[in-house]
Structure 1
Amino acid sequence: MRYVGIDPSTMTGFVALGSDGVEVQRTKELTGNGKEDPKRMVFLVDEVMEHLRQNDRVCIEGFSYGSQGKFVGQQYGIGWLIRTALFRRGLKYVEVSPGQLKKFASGKGNDSKDNLIIPIYKSWGFQHSSDNVRDAFVLAKISYHLQNPA
Structure 2
Amino acid sequence: MTSAPRILGLDLSITATGMCLPDGSTRTITTRDKGDWRLVAIQHAVRQQTGALDLAVIEDLPTHAKSAGITGMVHGAVRTVLLDEGIPYVLVTPATLKAYATGKGNADKTAMAIAALKRAGREFGDDNQCDAWWLRAAGLDWYGGPEFEVPKAQRDRLGKVDWPALATGVAA
Q: What range describes the TM-score normalised by the shorter chain of this pair?
A: 0.7 to 0.9
The secondary structure found in structure 2 opposite 1:79 is helix
Corresponding position of 2:101: 105
Aligned residues: 141
User: Which residue pairs with 2:30 in the alignment?
Assistant: 31
State the percentage of identical aligned residues. 28
TM-score between the two structures when normalised by the length of structure 1: 0.86
Higher strand share: 1
Deviation string for 1:99-127 (max 9, x for gaps)?
11101110111111222111111011111
Match of 2:6 in 1: 2
**1:21: which partner in 2?**
none
Q: Does 1:142 align with 2:146?
A: no
1:77 partner SS: helix
By how many angstroms is 1:88 displaced?
1.3
Alignment partner, residue 71 of structure 2: 75
Q: State the alpha-carbon separation in 2 of the partners of residues 86 and 3 from structure 1.
A: 12
Aligned to 1:133: 129
Unmatched 5+ residue regions in structure 2? 147-172
Kindly name which structure, 1 or 2, has the bigger radius of gyration based on alpha carbons.
2
Distance of 1:109 and 1:50 partners within structure 2: 32
The one-letter amino acid paired with 2:86 is G
Equivalent residue letter for 2:9: G
- Find the aligned partners of 1:102 and 1:137 in 2 and give their Cα distance: 12
Contact 1:30–1:48 at 8 Å: present in 2 too?
no
RMSD value, Cα:
1.7
Amino acid at match of 1:106: T
Matched, 1:14 2:19: yes
The amino acid of 2:52's aligned partner reads Q
Which consecutive unaligned segments of at least 5 residues does structure 1 have? Answer: 19-23
